[in-house]
A = this chain, B = another copy of it.
Amino acid sequence: MTESLFRPDLEERAAAFFRHLQDRIVGGLEGLDGGHFREDTWDRPGGGGGRSRVLSDSALFEKAGVNFSEVFGQLQPHMASSLPGEGLTFHATGVSLVLHPRSPRVPTVHANVRFIQRGNVAWFGGGTDLTPYYVVPADATAFHRALKDICDRHERSLFPRFKGWCDRYFFLPHRNEPRGVGGIFFDYLGVGAEATAGEPAPPPGTDWEKDPERVFAFVQDLGLGMMDAYGAIVSRRRSEAWGDREREWQLLRRGRYVEFNLIYDRGTLFGLRTDGRAESILMSLPPEVRWRYGAAPAPGSPEAASLAAICSQRDWAGDDPG
C-alpha cells in the first residue's frame, strides 16, 4: 500500500478547477458557434452530481456536450477489481466533452481531464483525441504539435509516452482500426502507473509524476490549452463545401465512434457501472449514425486515403520525419 502523497485539499482544488474549466470551454465554444448551451444539473443517488451542458442542432455543432461531474460514495464490489487502490470509498471529478460538428469537413473531438481517489491512492487521467472524417495532415500535425508544446513545458518524456498510449487506447481491435488520428492519453498519474485488471499495462512512468502538484499543474495547463488547436481547425474547415457523399461517410465513421464508446471506453463503462446519469454519459454518442453492411471506401477515393492516414498512426507532430 502506497502512502498518499496528495495534499488533503487536492480533491477540492481539482473539482474547483474542473468547474471553472467547464465554464471556460463552454464560453469558448459559444463564441465559436454563436449558439447557447443548455444546462442540466443532476444529483447522483449514491453521492455527488454534475452539470451537463449540451448544444444541439446549432449552426456548427450537430451535438456538443461538455460535462462536469463530482461523484463519490461506495464502489460496487464488481467495479472494485478494475481500479487501483483499496477499499470501496471513491471520489471522482472531471470534465469530459465530445463535439460532433455537422460538417464532415470538421473533425469530431473528445477531451477529458479527471481526478480519481480510492482509499488512500489518487490519480489524474485524461487526454484528447481528434477524429477527422477527411484527414487533413496539416490539421493533424497542428493538433499534435499543440499538445506536444503543452507536454514539453512540463516534462520532455510526456508527449511521446502519452501519444503512444493514445494510439493504443483509442483502437478498435475488432475493426483493426484506430478511432482517429490520436492525440494524447494518460491515466493513473500519481499511483506509480499500476496496470489494472483487463487493461493494457501503461508505459513505465518517470519521477515527474510522483509529485501530484506537478501533475495537477500539467492537467490545468492541458485543460486550459487543449481546445485552442481544435478551434483553429474548425475555423479553417467550417466553410468548406460538402454533400451527400461526405455526409454518408461521416455517418458510417460515426458508427465506429459508437462502437468504441460502448464496447471499450473506460469512462463510459465506469460511468454506467457506477450508476451514473445515462444521458450525461451517453452525451458522447453522435446525433445520427449509419451502419451499412460491408461498407468500405472505393480504392483510390478520398475516403480510402483518409482511412489509410488514420490507420498509419504516424508521428503527426513530426518528431520522426519518417
Indicate with 1 or 0, residue by residue over A88-114, a CB within 8 angstroms of chain B CB atoms. 000000000000000000000000000
Determine the distance from Cα of A281 to Cα of B278 in the docked complex, in whole angstroms. 25
Question: Do A289 and B288 touch across chains, with their CB atoms under 8 A apart?
Answer: yes
Question: Do B287 and A287 touch across chains, with their CB atoms under 8 A apart?
Answer: no
Question: Do A287 and B290 touch across chains, with their CB atoms under 8 A apart?
Answer: yes
Give the interface of A toward B (CB within 8 A).
40, 52, 54, 56, 63, 65, 78, 173-175, 198, 251, 255, 258-259, 262-263, 269, 272, 278-279, 281-283, 285-294
Question: Do A40 and B294 touch across chains, with their CB atoms under 8 A apart?
Answer: yes
Task: Name A282's contact: one of B52, B269, B281, B291 (CB within 8 Å).
Answer: B291
Task: Name A63's contact: one of B40, B56, B63, B293 (CB within 8 Å).
Answer: B293
Question: Do B272 and A174 touch across chains, with their CB atoms under 8 A apart?
Answer: yes
A-B contact pairs, 10 of them (CB 8 A): A63-B293, A174-B281, A251-B288, A258-B289, A259-B262, A259-B282, A262-B262, A263-B269, A279-B294, A287-B292
Which residues in B have their C-beta under 8 angstroms from that of A255?
285
Known: A174-B278, A278-B174. A290 touches B290 (CB 8 A): no
Determine the distance from Cα of A184 to Cα of B173 in the docked complex, in whole angstroms. 32
List the B residue with the shortest CB-CB distance to A198: B78
Interface of A: prevailing SS: mixed
List the B residue with the shortest CB-CB distance to A254: B289
Which residues in B have their C-beta under 8 angstroms from that of A262?
258-259, 262-263
Determine the distance from Cα of A283 to Cα of B295 in the docked complex, in whole angstroms. 11
> How many Å from the CB of A248 to the closest CB on chain B?
11
Known: A263-B262, A272-B263, A282-B259. A290 touches B288 (CB 8 A): yes
> How many Å from the CB of A188 to the closest CB on chain B?
21
Determine the distance from Cα of A40 to Cα of B282 in the docked complex, in whole angstroms. 34
Known: A278-B174, A278-B175, A288-B288. A293 touches B65 (CB 8 A): yes
Determine the distance from Cα of A174 to Cα of B272 in the docked complex, in whole angstroms. 6
Which residues in B have their C-beta under 8 angstroms from that of A279?
293-294
Known: A174-B272, A175-B278, A278-B174. A292 touches B259 (CB 8 A): no
Which residues in B have their C-beta under 8 angstroms from that of A281?
174
Which residues in B have their C-beta under 8 angstroms from that of A269?
263
